[in-house]
Structure 1
């Protein structure tokens, strides 16, 4: 960004760019926005609703829900349909 452009932005300017981080490197996950890596591409607007854990096969997994279902759950206490996803394919926004 040039000096002229920066002067036109109010307050602190543009927010810093955020790099996605591996779920396995994060200390707490519940409620965090996550990105799923699938064969069809990346899936955004998801929320983690559990910590990482080992499934029956020994794979590290966590439960995720859509962002819409997450907020419905927070406001109405209607339990969302959870989807278990391999942790190595999940990134924190």
Structure 2
């Protein structure tokens, strides 16, 4: 598990309970452009009319037999409940790492 430290601002009156800002927003990065490990990452898939969430990459990006860069993905539920989740191979240009590393 990866964690991010919280740095609350100290209230002018020295109060111990102060509002905490939410974490900085991160922009999703296409798998073809991502420099880190993709396998196991939560990803978002672009479809013709919608974004598909709750998906995990089950492989690293690789070249298929037609020379395209692709990645295998599975539903998040299957990723956590099956030893070998049923995967779908998608073009890596339409699969985005949801929360890329800072």
Both proteins in one fold, TM over 0.5: yes
Paired positions, count: 82
* Structure 1: gaps (5+ residues): 1-5
1:58 to partner: Cα distance:
0.8
Runs (4+) of structure 1 exceeding 2 A deviation are: none
Larger proportion of helix: 1
User: Partners of 2:22 and 2:85 in 1: how far apart?
Assistant: 35
* Structure 2: gaps (5+ residues): 1-8, 12-17
**TM-score by structure 1 length?**
0.80
User: Partners of 1:9 and 1:30 in 2: how far apart?
Assistant: 35
Query: Which residue of 2 is the match for residue 40 of structure 1?
Result: 49
Q: How big is the alpha-carbon RMSD for the aligned residues of Structure 1 and Structure 2?
A: 1.5
Larger proportion of strand: 1
**TM-score by structure 2 length?**
0.73
> Computing the radius of gyration over CA atoms, which structure comes out larger, 1 or 2?
2
